[in-house]
Structure 1
Amino acid sequence: MRILGISAFYHDSAAALIEDGRIVAAAQEERFTRKKHDSAFPANALAYCLAAAECEMAQIDHVVFYDKPFLKFERLLETYLASVPRGFRSFKMAMPLWIKEKLFQKKLLRSQLGKLAGVKEWSGSLLFTEHHLAHAASAFFPSPFPSAAVLTMDGVGEWCTTSLGHGRGKDFEILKEIRFPHSLGLLYSAFTYYTGFKVNSGEYKVMGLAPYGRPIFVKRILDNLVDLKEDGSFRLDQRYFNYCAGLTMTSPAFHSLFGAEPRTPESPLTQREMDLAASIQAVTEEIVLRLARFARRETGERHLCLAGGVALNCVANGKLLKERIFDDIWIQPAAGDAGGAVGAALAAWHGYLGNGRSPDGRDGMAGAYLGPAFDQRDIEKRLTASGAVYEVLDDETLIASTVDALVEEKAVGWMQGRMEFGPRALGARSILGDPRSPTMQKTLNLKVKYRESFRPFAPSVRREDVAEWFDIDVDSPYMLLVADVLDRHRLATVSDEADLFGIDRLNVPRSKIPAVTHVDYSARVQTVHRETNPRYWQLLSEFKARTGCPILVNTSFNVRGEPIVCTPEDAFRCFMGTEVECLVVGNCFLKKEDQPPALRQDYKERFELD
């Protein structure tokens, strides 16, 4: 039996296909359209999923949408009516789109699916699941746990913003909910907006900025914005927010409380923004910890699953792991809305159809390598058509040549196998570097990624070596847990560091792997497993044999504002538009100096800033 899951029409549209309960394929629409966070109907992602399963729409048993549009419309109407006349402008902008299109999503979906099927309207089984149930299903059903507590936390679905669920075998139930407008995701997004970053995109920048600051606003937040209870439940004082009725996240009362208007995007960052980031991060961590303690008491479970956009806050996840509230944690790698496509399909398979579940200790996401792959012949054909100059190397020579480039402190574009599903590059569509280099961080941020200087990079490390370098000894295949670099690998820092900011602070070597060590000695760890990504594991092994270090810098293969590359053509364009010095696609090895100068591109201004 085949089930297609769809998430669409808000942000990060995606499609996923399962066969007899096994996830066969999943991808985000942005990777095909090259439009970051694309919210359109995921026609390209769906076409890919069908091709990966070698089937047509006529062979699909059910299509499941990750949201219930009428419930969402009900929430919008009630919210606007409660804020009359203040919310009229927002109401006036939203209603035409809802009345014209969103309110009739069943017809829209059938029409779009019909285009894939080659008919006017697809007439198969179309189901809808609630947003947070899709999140919860995406977290529990692919997890390695027979039973678990499940927390979902995001901005908002239909009404729910936070849920506690309990999964046992094939059965799942939601026990508790926090409802709109009280939302941890929207609280964090309000500070994202206030500090000058883009909502639904810049939250991870706030998380990365937090270690530079002091949490001096925590009391002000808890005394005014958030009424936080011991069990983690909370209410937000809506006087300080504008997302219910207005077109911004924060209100004049919020600005007055913190003594200034929101920072202008792209303007210089100050200590104030750093302190605000540190403060909202600390509040978020406290809420997550309280919710987790309540989940443990309420369910009695030893394992926890997480999903929803807040579950991408890997710093909070790391704190949660360290507190040992649960024996183990599993986080859906596509924890945001994209993962709702997987959850919707799995919710139908287990919930609607009642099929059983037999976890075997491994998760069902296959390392998140669920996107398109290209065979060697196709890669060569595509690169040749792009004008690329390359060598075709055997496996052993390819790995050795890549390590040569890394040891020479070159940035290497690395495209291998199936593309990752979710926001993180995990060694299939990555830019790699030598973590021991004191200049690699600066080079990648300023000359390759064209992004803010304060943002840290993540280490990929062989799973068997992780405890030798970091204060963690669990699987972290999806780069969703932060851990500290061990003391024995740290270096003494300069005494006048307080006078430094941004890249200047990051350029102070803090460990033997300075390129992946943040200013607080933390690192967003990805463990690499031989079973799920053998070629990347082999590269790390060879790098370790050559240098004694089993770690590489791993950042996503894109520039700021660009979706992660999908095809060999995408990889070659990004390679030619940045200062990446080598590109490895399949068994093709490319050097920048060998490429025709006429193919160089200016990538720095090509994409809208994120």
Structure 2
Amino acid sequence: MDTILGVSTTHDSGATLVQDGEIVAAVNEERFNRTKHYGYLPFESIRYCLDTAGITTADLDTVAVPSEVLRTDARLLLDADVDTTNVSQSSLSLLKKLTRESVETLRRASERNTRVPEYARTVTFPDTMSVSLVNHHEAHAATAYYCCGHDDALVVTLDGLGDRLSGTVWHGRDGHLENHKQWDRTGSLGWFFGVITQALGWWIGNGEGKTMGLASYADPDPDAKDELREILPRYEDGELADGHDFSRSASWEVHDTHHWSFEEEVDFVTGIIEEYGREETAAAAQELLEDQVVEIIGSWLDRTGVDVLATAGGVFLNVQVNQRILETFDLEDYFIFPNAGDGGLPTGAALSAHRHTSDNYRPFELNHPYLGPDITGSVPEVFEDRLLEYSRPDDIVERCADLLADGNIVAWCQGRMEYGPRALGNRSILIDPTRDDSMDRVNKRVKFRDSWRPFAPSIKEEAVEEYLVDPTYDPFMITSYAVREDRRDEIPAVTHVDGTTRPQVVRRSVNERYWRLIDRFGDRTGTPVLLNTSYNLSGDPIVCTPEDAIETFYNCGLDALAVGDYLLTKG
């Protein structure tokens, strides 16, 4: 059995275990140490992956790292003499694209003499460990291609910057990724949108979703668009026609999270915000971003002649970009890897490393995100240790459907945790979407965030066409769609100001218990839809364990908490 551990030690660090090409376990370290976007040594993620498979590090064939150079923190993690092999598939080594100065800087950093004290090391590796290095963007491409379920696909990756590249284009055929195009920092659409996000007062790498949501509250101002083009990388016919030489980013690290800052560009955008307004500037930036992404993808679809698209990289967490892609192109299928940002890199590194040893490896269909720790094992003991009064209803689904139909806010924790930034029915906060006040209640009482921030629905698959315009099967809540006009008043709490929503389509065979909950709620209300948001407070990672669930439950205005078959209520 080919057993590969993918690990990442940069922002959103984590681990993935792949055995014979199958993803067995995957998680990001933030879920264990409770520091959002944690970016250092993922010891607990590694231990979880190994425990899930019932193996130790001695059973690993290789450790796959999504980087062209083994950096200091990765060496610190392994604490072993390592034999590194670059297994990137591209016909031209992406390492050769780096400047000599950049490579030497990384190599010098990788040779620093530091160690982790034994009391802090929860995982050890054999004295000699094989390490496979995979280019950052090839790791993104591998998540998109090998999980899309199609042998022939156009693969596009776009983010801020990784291994000195901001974007790549690939043609996936018969299990092989052939690289067609690479862009350096001057083509970074991720940095462009990140600069807008920082100028609006939010954290680059975390707040871009806020920028996207804010954009819906105004029409793009043509003059604001013209001014923003000054810092916008411009693409034409699938090529970078006019790049932007971004100023050198400053980096601030706190609690092992990374904060980037582009002061020159931010000063420029701040002036535009002052002249045209926050919403108008966000709307202008969103439209410019969409235009450039569509320009890239359209040209390369024409060149390759394929009608299947697979994408990854942080830019593709933008659900309005994904909606624009679906509305613009006649695609047989469009797959976005659900953990599209750098949190998904360990998976891509492991899949790419497996392909290196298995010539007949082919893409498979990733149909669910439930790859994290199971929450249900020790629930009664955790409740009893805290002297909590709990119940075990005859049917937890029926009981929670009653609570939701009565207007309660219910935290719903079941089985294995989702991999990626979305809660998809196993670590979720739920409420009735038909009530006008549901959005405000969750924002004010539970999430403690801006009142304008939108929420998304979970819809059972059988009802999706009743509510959405031209929907596809989207189990990962990663694309927005227009809500049918005759249904918008029915589900106001999950219909954004622009008439769109970001749905999770729930298939019964994928998540039986969650599907039943939506179905039973529909029996009571006539609406087989639930407002679903991640189970966390603003600024915190999604809950992982029963202990996390209890702490969050008593630290906000939730009415009920269901963990497995057990129920906690207040009052």
TM-score (norm 2): 0.88
Which residues of 2 match residues 16-55 of structure 1 at below 5 A? 16-55=16-55
Q: Please tell me the residue identity of whatever aligns with 1:173.
A: E
Distance 1:196 1:298, change over 3 A: same
Which residues of 2 match residues 519-558 of structure 1 at below 5 A? 519-558=497-536
Give the CA deviation at 1:159.
1.7
Structure 1: gaps spanning 5 or more residues: 82-94, 264-269, 491-510, 594-610
Q: Is the 8 A contact 2:236 2:296 kept in 1?
A: no
Give the CA deviation at 1:109.
10
Give the CA deviation at 1:255.
3.2
Q: Which residue of 2 aligns with 1:606?
A: none
Instruction: Specify which of 427, 430, 433 is matched with residue 432 of structure 1.
Output: 430
Q: Which residue of 2 aligns with 1:219?
A: 226
Q: Please tell me the residue identity of whatever aligns with 2:14.
A: A
Distance 1:577 1:417, change over 3 A: same
Q: Which residue of 1 aligns with 2:462?
A: 464
Q: Is the 8 A contact 1:413 1:584 kept in 2?
A: yes
Q: Which residue of 1 aligns with 2:235?
A: 228
Percentage identity across aligned positions?
Answer: 35
Tell me how far apart the structure 1 counterparts of residues 498 and 354 of structure 2 sit (CA, whole Å): 44
Q: Is the 8 A contact 2:375 2:544 kept in 1?
A: no
Q: Is the 8 A contact 1:485 1:517 kept in 2?
A: yes
Q: Is the 8 A contact 2:228 2:269 kept in 1?
A: no
Which residues of 2 match residues 159-558 of structure 1 at below 5 A? 159-216=164-221, 217-222=224-229, 225-231=232-238, 233-238=240-245, 241-244=246-249, 249-252=261-264, 255-256=267-268, 259=271, 272-350=277-355, 352-359=356-363, 363-364=365-366, 366-376=367-377, 378-394=378-394, 397-490=395-488, 511-558=489-536
Corresponding residue pairs, total: 537
Question: Is it true that 1:103 corresponds to 2:110 in the alignment?
Answer: yes
Give the CA deviation at 1:388.
2.4
For the residue of structure 1 that corresponds to 2:480, the secondary structure is strand
Distance 1:7 1:583, change over 3 A: same
Q: Please tell me the residue identity of whatever aligns with 2:267.
A: H
For the residue of structure 1 that corresponds to 2:161, the secondary structure is coil
Deviations 1:414-470 (A, max 9, x none): 000100000000011000010001000000111100011111000000112111101
Q: Is the 8 A contact 2:16 2:25 kept in 1?
A: yes
For the residue of structure 2 that corresponds to 1:136, the secondary structure is helix
Give the CA deviation at 1:29.
0.2
Give the CA deviation at 1:392.
1.2
TM-score (norm 1): 0.83
Q: Is the 8 A contact 2:409 2:560 kept in 1?
A: yes
Distance 1:142 1:591, change over 3 A: same
Q: Which residue of 1 aligns with 2:89?
A: none
Q: Please tell me the residue identity of whatever aligns with 2:38.
A: D
Q: Please tell me the residue identity of whatever aligns with 1:210.
A: A
Distance 1:148 1:99, change over 3 A: closer
Q: Is the 8 A contact 1:79 1:244 kept in 2?
A: no
| Root-mean-square deviation (Å) | 2.7
Distance 1:256 1:367, change over 3 A: closer
For the residue of structure 1 that corresponds to 2:353, the secondary structure is helix
Q: Which residue of 2 aligns with 1:88?
A: none
Higher strand share: 2
Q: Which residue of 1 aligns with 2:6?
A: 5
Distance 1:518 1:243, change over 3 A: farther
Give the CA deviation at 1:108.
7.6
Q: Is the 8 A contact 2:508 2:515 kept in 1?
A: yes
Q: Is the 8 A contact 1:232 1:290 kept in 2?
A: no
Question: Is it true that 1:127 corresponds to 2:119 in the alignment?
Answer: no
Q: Is the 8 A contact 2:250 2:262 kept in 1?
A: no
Structure 2: gaps spanning 5 or more residues: 71-93, 253-259
Q: Is the 8 A contact 1:212 1:274 kept in 2?
A: yes
Deviations 1:532-560 (A, max 9, x none): 21110110111111111111000000001
